[in-house]
Structure 1
Amino acid sequence: MASYLETVREWFRARLDAPGGLSTPEGATLGLRVLAIWRSRMIAQALRNLEDGRVLGGPFAGMAYVESATEGALAPRLVGTYEDELHPHLATALAADPEVILDIGCAEGYYAVGLARLAPRAVIHAHDTSETAQAACRRMAELNGVEARVRTGGLFHPEDFQAFADRRCLVIVDIEGAEEDLLRPDLAPALAGMRLIVETHDVYRPGVLDRVRARFEATHEITVVHPGPKTAPLPEILRNRSHLDQLLAVWEFRAAPTPWLVMTPKRSFR
């Protein structure tokens, strides 16, 4: 935390004396974001000191967590509100008793390990191009006693879906715009029979949501899920804190909306 604080200080020193550095709307917004991330990290550290570093709420409550998120905000993961718009869709997917869960863009394993705990018969394949993320995911699987069913790997190619054809398969994708390159039914016909939850990133690739959705309209029922305000009860440590701290505790660092495509096969391909 101390090293990050020094980074924040240097960032502001460089801009306070620069012409227009923080006086424009864009500069002020960026400055607020930098400070908010710093405060969010402080809140996350306080949350980690509770319950021995475990998730406090949501479907993954009780999951032991590694020290940091390899991408995005740690605090809402520990609170249990992270991407809670997906909670009912995850419950529906788990009710279908998946044999295989593919988590592509797994980061430190929030979904890979969390779903392994909730689906004890499923094998989870967690992929990320970051070796740091892969190592963190393996560590979190060990902390939660599911390492035998969580298998980590690197880059996942469109054709790799074919290895899981005719299996009850749930696919979760969060790869910062590359979902357009990965989700290719023309290269992986097995995708037609898989449940998919895909975070889309028009912020990086304008129009990617519509292009990916069009590829699956013939084979899947599709719901677009938009991020929304957080309404879940907060843990005791946050209930008497300032409203700003309460907001930052559930802030997910999103710079722009990243809606999800929740796609369910129209018929069984087994």
Structure 2
Amino acid sequence: MATISENVGATLTRMVQEGQPFDSMNKLNDGLRLLAKWRSVVIANTYIAHHGPVIYQGPFGGMTYLAETSEGALAARLLGTYESELHPHLARFATEGLDCVIDVGCAEGYYAVGLARMMPGITVHAYDIDPAARTACKDLAEKNGVSDRVIIGEKFEPADFQAFADRKCLVMVDTEGAEVDILDIEQGPALAGMSIIVETHNVFRRGALPTLHERFTATHDIERVDAQLKSIELPDWFRSLPPLDHLLATWEWRMSPTPWLVMRPKSEA
């Protein structure tokens, strides 16, 4: 079986041989992203060789993880830097007596399982339309001993929020543009009393961020959170790697900015 390095090398060679030269900014960018993803995977595999698939630090530190993700960068998850801009908000929510989390677009369960470990008193309701993601989330919950508190479902509709109307819930949404449809407060008025963290994807749904901001201004206090460069403590063995590897280890594979909105009901302000 070919290694990832051999596969990436063969892909680049084939692109050139088939007359796809890197003669434009977009093609050069595609080639750069391919090589950067390759190196990111190599770094993740090296991390696993040293530590196993266990998250190194952060609020989910010590969580047993998977050897691959359903999408996105594994290295940043393993190092505990993935979406670290949200860590202070998660820490605050953890002290506020939540009894449930609704995670829409749960992927392999980074947040669903991580939050179940972080807050032993909650039940996490995790949803994803991808069967492979649901299977991976189930596996991750079992690996971490929280499968009794991680309930996995398929498609989540706005009206489904009403089933949680009497609960103190944190809603997390990462759905590649569908957040505008899911966070519909007219169909799910219970959202008015729920805390929400949503990743916005203007790249897939133009105007997603301002649409959601305007929609929830009357009911929530809203903070925009933008991605930041990471400065972290790294494992000792990592320090001998080139500086570019330090950057790629915390790179999250985003194609464009995807700022979050952290929204708290005004009644809780």
Give the AA of the match of 2:203: V
1:169 corresponds to which residue?
169
Aligned pair 1:209/2:209, yes or no? Answer: yes
What do the CA deviations read for 1:206-261 (whole angstroms, capped 9, x no partner)? 11100011110000000000001001212223122100111111110011000000
Residue aligning to 2:186: 186
Deviation, 1:51, is 2.9
Structure 1 unaligned spans of 5+: none
- Which residue in 2 is equivalent to 1:154? 154
TM-score (ref. length: structure 1): 0.95
Q: Bigger CA drift: 14-23 or 124-133?
A: 14-23
SS of 2:267's equivalent? Answer: coil
Could you tell me which residue of structure 1 aligns to residue 121 of structure 2? 121
Deviations 1:13-53 (A, max 9, x none): 23224556212222111101101101111111111123332
- C-alpha change, 1:3 and 1:157, in structure 2 (3 Å) is farther
Structure 2 vs 1, CA of residues 58 and 2 (structure 1 numbering), >3 Å: closer, same or farther? farther
> Structure 1, residues 89-115: CA drift from partner, whole Å, max 9, x if none?
111111112101011111111101110
Q: What letter is aligned with 2:218? A: A
SS in 2 for 1:82: coil
1:236 and 1:224 map into 2 onto residues whose CA distance is 34
Q: In the alignment, what sits opposite 2:55? A: 55
User: Hey, what does 1:97 align to over in structure 2?
Assistant: 97
The offset of 1:189, in angstroms, is 0.5
Quote the residue 1:82 is aligned against: 82
Q: 1:102, 1:184 → 2: CA distance?
A: 15
Secondary structure (helix, strand or coil) at the match of 1:152 reads strand
2-11 or 91-100: bigger deviation: 2-11
| RMSD value, Cα | 1.4
* 1:97/1:119 contact within 8 Å kept: no
CA distance in 2, matches of 1:235, 1:3: 25
TM-score where L is the length of structure 2: 0.96
Counterpart of 1:99, as a letter, is D
CA contact (8 A) 1:166 1:193 kept: no
Alpha-carbon shift at residue 6 of structure 1 (Å): 4.3
- AA of the residue aligned to 1:179: E
What is the alpha-carbon distance in structure 2 between the residues aligned to residue 50 and residue 106 of structure 1? 27
Superposition map of 1:8-23 within 5 A: 8-17=8-17, 19=19, 21-23=21-23
Give the distance between the partners of 2:20 and 2:174, measured in 1 at CA. 36
The residue type equivalent to 1:144 in the other structure is N
* Structure 1: distance between partners of 2:234 and 2:77: 12
Instruction: Tell me how far apart the structure 1 counterparts of residues 118 and 160 of structure 2 sit (CA, whole Å).
Output: 25
| Identity of matched residues, % | 49
Q: Could you tell me how far apart the structure 2 residues matched to 1:11 and 1:211 are?
A: 40
> 1:142-186 CA distances to partner (integer Å, 9 max, x unpaired)?
111111101111110000000000211001100000001100000
| Structure 2 stretches lacking a partner, 5+ long | none
One-letter amino acid matched to 1:134: R
- The structure-2 alpha-carbon separation of the partners of 1:132 and 1:3, relative to structure 1 and needing over 3 Å to count, comes to farther
Q: How many residues align?
A: 268
How far has the Cα of 1:2 moved from its partner? 3.3
Distance 1:53 1:30 in 2: 29
